């Protein structure tokens, strides 16, 4: 079994299942903070996805995207926290 096939049939499915689970949390909530961390985790898994994809296609260029994600993904979370601390009600 080549590495590519292994990735296609093992790694990617695991990652997709992971995303699915997180997405269920995102939909379920119940609070906005839950959704925010779910989003954060989805992005993190996305970084993993991109990394794996670049291994799978042997194109290192995609790692550049992952770098950006890793650097700035948390800004969204920070913004949400900022918002939530400002407004104590959880709309």
Partner 1 sequence: MELLLVFLIGVLYAAGVYLILRRSMVKLLLGIMLFGNATNILIFLLGNIVKGKPPIIGADFKVFQDIYADPIPQALILTAIVISFGLTAFAIVLLKRVYALINSDDLDDLNTPEEEDI
Partner 2 sequence: MINILIAILSTVGALAILFASIGILRMPDFYLRLSVTVKAATLGIGLFLLCTAILFPDISVTTKAIAISFFLILTTPVAAHMIGRAAYKSGTPKWKGTVLDDLEKDYKNREDLQGIAKPETPEDSTIDPKK
Partner 3 sequence: MRSSILQTASQYLLPILLLFSVFLLLRGHYYPGGGFVGGLVASIAFVLHSFANGTENTLKIVRYKPLSLIPIGLLIASLSMFMPVLLGLPVMTGLWFEEPIPVIGMIGSALFFDLGVYLVVIGVVLTILFTISQNTH
- Using CB under 8 A, count the residues that bind partner 2: 54
Report the distance separating Cα 18 and Cα 48, nearest Å.
11
Q: How far is the CB of 91 from partner 1 (least distance, A)?
A: 11
What are the residues whose beta carbons fall under 8 Å from the beta carbon of 26, sequence distance 6 or more?
34, 35, 38, 39, 42
Report the distance separating Cα 61 and Cα 58, nearest Å.
9
The CB-side HSE value for 49 (13 A sphere, CA atoms) comes to 14
Using CB under 8 A as the binding rule, whether residue 5 contacts partner 2 is answered as no
What residues line the site for partner 1 (CB under 8 A)?
53, 57, 59, 61-62
Binding site for partner 2 (CB under 8 A): 2-3, 6-7, 10-11, 14-15, 17-22, 24-25, 31, 33-34, 36-38, 40-41, 44-45, 47-48, 51-52, 54-55, 58, 60, 63-64, 66-67, 70-71, 73-74, 77-78, 80-85, 87-90
């Amino acid at each position: 079994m080549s590495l590519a096939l292994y990735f296609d049939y093992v790694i990617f499915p695991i990652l997709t299942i992971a995303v699915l689970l997180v997405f269920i949390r995102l939909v379920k909530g119940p609070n906005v903070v839950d959704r925010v961390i779910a989003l954060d985790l989805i992005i993190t898994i996305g970084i993993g996805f991109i990394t794996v994809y670049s291994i799978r296609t042997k194109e290192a260029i995609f790692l550049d995207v992952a770098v950006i994600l890793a650097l700035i993904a948390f800004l969204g979370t920070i913004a949400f926290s900022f918002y939530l601390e400002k407004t104590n009600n959880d709309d």
